[in-house]
Structure formats: C-alpha cells, structure tokens
C-alpha cells in the first residue's frame, strides 16, 4: 500500500420512502435501499446530526480531519468517476475519511463515523 488509506461513505436520505398510514405509529421513518436519486449530499455534524450552524457548537470540538468527514464531496472534487457495482450504480462522490494520525485517534474517529 502506498499512501494513506481512504474510506468513502455514501448515505441514503432520511425518510426517502413513505411509511403506510397503518404503520406510522410504529415507525419514525424509513429509508429506501441505495439508489443515486436518494443519495444524501448534505453536510452534517460529527455523529450524523443535522447542521444548524457549523461555526458554533459541537462542530468546533472536533479536529479538522473528523469535521471534513461529514461534508459531502462531489465526484468532480474527488476526481472519481461513477461506477457500476453489484447492486447499484454509484456516483463518484461521498463522505471521505482519511486514515491519518495515531492509531488511538483513528479508532476514536471511527466510532464517530
């Protein structure tokens, strides 16, 4: 292996499918299986909570490495093409985490991702 390992995550938008009325009291929401129409492209706080204001609050308690892992990067930004996998066609973008630093820091960061 040459260089640092990189992990790319893709996510499906919350509530990308409809819960039937008969089950709405039992379920909070649902997500479709992955397809690029329902791929999430938003920015999040670490831990995947919604971002209200990234200049204050818990966002600032994390390193730049972990904060950047919750910002969607397009295929153009990453220089990665879309590709056909076994179960779907995937756009080239995603949420990127670079495995850099001390092992204890990397393990801690992975629990947040």
The tens digit of pLDDT for each residue in 22-64 reads: 888 888 778 888 888 899 999 998 888 887 655 556 667 788 8
**Residue for token digits 């080239």?**
92
Q: Is residue 36 part of a domain?
A: yes
**Which band of pLDDT confidence, cut at 50, 70 and 90, is reported for residue 1?**
low
Assess if residue 1 is contained within a domain.
no
2-19 per-position pLDDT tens digit:
788 999 999 999 888 888
**Confidence check: pLDDT of 107 > 70:** yes
User: What is the b/e burial string over 15-25, where b = at least 16 CB atoms within 10 angstroms of the residue's CB?
Assistant: ebeeeeeeeee
Q: Is residue 80 part of a domain?
A: yes
Say if 33 falls within a structural domain: yes
Range of the domain at 19: 6-112
> How many other CB atoms are found less than 10 A from the CB of residue 7?
13
The answer to whether residue 60 is domain-embedded is yes
pTM across the whole model: 0.81
How are strands ordered across the β-sheet holding 72-73?
Answer: 6-9, 94-98, 72-73
Beta strands in the chain (DSSP E): 6-9, 44-45, 49-50, 72-73, 83-84, 89-90, 94-98
Distance between CA atoms of residues 96 and 106, nearest Å: 14
Count of structural domains within the chain: 1
pLDDT tens digits, one per residue of 76-103: 999 999 999 888 999 999 999 999 888 9
């Amino acid at each position: 292996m040459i260089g640092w390992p990189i992990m790319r995550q893709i996510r499906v938008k919350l509530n990308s499918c409809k819960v039937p009325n008969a089950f709405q009291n039992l379920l909070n929401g649902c997500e479709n299986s992955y397809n690029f129409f329902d791929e999430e492209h938003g920015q999040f706080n670490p831990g995947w909570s919604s971002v209200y204001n990234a200049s204050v609050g818990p966002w600032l308690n994390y390193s730049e490495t972990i904060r950047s892992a919750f910002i969607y990067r397009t295929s153009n930004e990453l220089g990665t093409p879309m590709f056909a996998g076994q179960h779907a066609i995937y756009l080239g973008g995603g949420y990127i985490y670079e495995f850099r630093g001390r092992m204890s820091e990397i393990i801690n960061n992975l629990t947040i991702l």
